[in-house]
Amino acid sequence: MKEKELDELRQYLASTKNVTLPSYAELPSIPLYMEQVVAYVNQTLEPLSTKDRQLLTSFMVNNYVKAKIIAEPDKKKYNVNHLGYLLAITSLKSVLSMSDIALLIGMDDDVSSDKSVLYKFYKNMTEDVFHDVGNRTALRVERFYETYEKNKKKDPEQADQYFRDSLGLIAMRMAIQSAVYQQMSHALLQYLAKDMIGDSFDEKDFQPGSHEIRHEMRQAKHAAERVAQIHENAINEKKTLENEKQKDAEKKKAAKKAKKKEGKSK
């Protein structure tokens, strides 16, 4: 078991109890240029992501403006309301389509015309869910970790395998829950779209377009290539370790045989 990576995982899960988003009053009140906006959003949402990658890019922001999901910037500058919306959109874009996000944002005025109130809803919901899920996940991992610590003295290899399998089961359950929640969310949004748009509603309008599909296919292809390479590297690494163990065992055997032969000659 790689202790360094395990410690990092436990620290990350423990830190989720303290994850907070800036309040509306804490958002930059001075309008920002694109580069500043992208940097601010990525930095602010960094604690909510375990991957070292940009969550928001200038290309994405331009698309949200073109789709009229957010208002156009004033003289290329984005205000506090833009930032609030971009934080929410960036948090949701991995699970909701652009059409679904546009639908939810389109309902904002029905809830409140005060953008600070809307942002507070987003902030509180995000923190509550993150803290709740993070806390429950951390507790599960810690229970399995305690079992791992007890068993590794008796049989380290078996303890490692049990702990890995346990983490895999937790991840799988959460992935299934995520998929189910996403389906239920989509069903609710489809109902709202039909109810709000009426007879002119066309479900095709809420499906990814050809450009989005091609982009998704390219991403899937690259992901498949990366996974295949990782798998191949893991197999090669395992073979290398096995060969090293075999060579080490043969050396020990040869040394033992030579020592035994030397003892007989004496």
User: Residue 260: what pLDDT?
Assistant: 74
Axis crossing angle, helix 34-45 with helix 58-66, rounded to the nearest 10: 110
User: Residue 2: what pLDDT?
Assistant: 72
Residues for the chain: how many in total? 266
User: Residue 211: what pLDDT?
Assistant: 55
CA distance 49 to 134: 12
CA distance 92 to 75: 27
Provide CB contacts within 8 A for 54, sequence distance 6+.
38, 42
How sure is the predictor about 142, in pLDDT bands with cuts at 50, 70 and 90? very high
From the list 112, 124, 49, the residue with the least C-alpha distance to 81 is 112
pLDDT at 36 over 70: yes
SS3 63: helix
**What mean pLDDT comes out for the span 199-220?**
58
User: Could you tell me which residue, 83 or 113, shows the higher pLDDT?
Assistant: 83
Neighbours of 193 (CB within 10 A): 20
pLDDT at 57 over 80: yes
User: Residue 207: what pLDDT?
Assistant: 54
Cβ-in-10-Å burial (0-12, 13-18, 19+) of 10 comes to middle
**What mean pLDDT comes out for the span 135-149?**
92
Contact 47, 171 (CB under 8 A): no
**What mean pLDDT comes out for the span 175-202?**
83
**What mean pLDDT comes out for the span 101-127?**
91
Q: Which tokens sit at 223?
A: 């992901």
CA distance 100 to 103: 5
User: Residue 264: what pLDDT?
Assistant: 64
**What mean pLDDT comes out for the span 63-83?**
94
pLDDT at 110 over 80: yes
SS3 1: coil
CA distance 97 to 204: 12
Q: Which of 88-102, 180-194, 242-256 has the lowest mean pLDDT?
A: 242-256
Q: Which tokens sit at 149?
A: 């610590």
Contact 39, 54 (CB under 8 A): no
From the list 176, 180, 21, 16, the residue with the least C-alpha distance to 87 is 21
Percent of the chain with pLDDT over 90: 44
pLDDT at 123 over 90: yes
Q: What is the value of pTM for the model shown?
A: 0.72
How sure is the predictor about 244, in pLDDT bands with cuts at 50, 70 and 90? confident
Average pLDDT, the chain: 85
pLDDT at 138 over 70: yes
Alpha helices in the chain (DSSP H): 3-15, 34-45, 58-66, 80-92, 98-106, 108-111, 115-151, 156-197, 210-265
How sure is the predictor about 192, in pLDDT bands with cuts at 50, 70 and 90? confident
CA distance 248 to 263: 22
